[in-house]
Amino acid sequence: MKKSLYRNSLVLFFGVISLFLLAFTPFFNSREKTDDPAKAKSAAPDVYLMDITVLNISDIDLNAGTYMVDMFISFVCKDAPCKNEPNWDVMNATEDIDPVDQGTSIPFTSYDYRLKSTLIGQVDYTFYPFDYLYIEMFIEDKVLANDQITYQLASLHVDEMLFNPSGWYYKPEQNGSEVAAVSYQQDAAKYDRVDVWMFLERDRFGAFMKTIFAALVIVLVGMLSYLLRVEDAKERLALTSSTLVAIVLYHISLVASVPATGYLTFVDKFMVATYVVIFLSLVVSVLLMVFVNNEQNDKAEKLHLRTRWTIPALWLLLMAYVYIFELVIPYNKLLLLGGGG
């Protein structure tokens, strides 16, 4: 009897405990679900929006690929207040940056700096002397990984009164940015690196007058040989030879102003087309001299009549081809594709 009473008591006790647990299970589950959004928010990285105002760009050195950038940069917490403070760096600066706090920063909310630093970028000489230049700034946090902090570009503009990069035109429609996760060998964490770029374009008229125009003048002087008579074969040969020497020396002086590249620039292609025409003119002058010395005046006259228009026309066609297919079309295609380095 006592055993039966004891057994019933145990069953009753465990039954009450089971009912109690079942009754409060939804409460525990609902508490756990209520805590999920807070946990997700605390686990999300801080997002700082960057507002950049470029005051000026100076000391553009195409040989070294460097440029001096003077700018204001603000970091604004997207969901203020943030948990972390930005400890940012410009990765393509040639030296340690020294940003100046403007005294208006609010901890964990917004930070305002002025920075003047020399940056280095990749310069493309494909269209030299009609260059373009992407002014790039690679911004990355020095301490916190991308699971703690990340940066996004909110706005990028220039100071209309101060911005004046000498010899370059600013095209804001080609500005942009992108974020890439990078890692380092000694650190398993990944860091968000923001690539912010501005597009500058060379003054085309100035570039033409300082480079291409002189080459055109040299070639046109050489073309004057086709106005000489057949009997003036010696003078014609001398004029064509001096034109070839002059254009070679001028080409050497042009390429000396840019670093050695593994590809042909626009001015190289232009000069190659010029070499072809001047070489043909030299060959014609030599043949005319041979015919005149051998008293084959009929052959000399026929050669002169056939080449006095065809070779200058060939030169115009080659110039048009180089200009359209090696400059205008690929350059416009580049602008349509857009994007930084």
Q: What percent of the chain has pLDDT over 70?
A: 87
pLDDT greater than 80 at residue 35:
no
How would residue 200 be classed by pLDDT, with cut points 50, 70 and 90?
very high
- Please state the pTM of the whole predicted model: 0.77
pLDDT greater than 70 at residue 311:
yes
List of residues 6+ apart from 94 with CB closer than 8 A: 66, 117, 118, 119, 120
223-271, pLDDT tens digit by residue? 999 999 988 889 999 999 999 999 999 999 988 878 888 899 999 999 9
Question: Is domain 46-202 classified as CATH 3.30.590.10?
Answer: no
**Distance between CA 288 and CA 220 in Å, rounded?**
20
Q: What percent of the chain has pLDDT over 90?
A: 72
pLDDT greater than 50 at residue 89:
yes
**Mean per-residue pLDDT for 280-309?**
93
**Distance between CA 267 and CA 254 in Å, rounded?**
8
pLDDT greater than 80 at residue 146:
yes
How would residue 167 be classed by pLDDT, with cut points 50, 70 and 90?
confident
- The per-residue pLDDT for 26 is 45
Is there a common fold for 46-202 and 205-337? Answer: no
**Mean per-residue pLDDT for 48-56?**
97
**Distance between CA 182 and CA 208 in Å, rounded?**
41
pLDDT greater than 90 at residue 179:
yes
pLDDT greater than 90 at residue 142:
yes
pLDDT greater than 60 at residue 280:
yes
pLDDT greater than 90 at residue 32:
no
User: What is the Cα 326 distance to its own chain's centre?
Assistant: 19
CATH class of 205-337: mainly alpha
- Total residues found in the chain within this entry: 341
**Mean per-residue pLDDT for 141-161?**
95
* Residue 82: both structure tokens together: 């943030």
Domain ranges of the chain: 46-202, 205-337
Higher pLDDT, 40 or 277: 277
**Mean per-residue pLDDT for 289-317?**
93
- The per-residue pLDDT for 36 is 52
Mean pLDDT computed over every residue of the chain = 87
Higher pLDDT, 28 or 190: 190
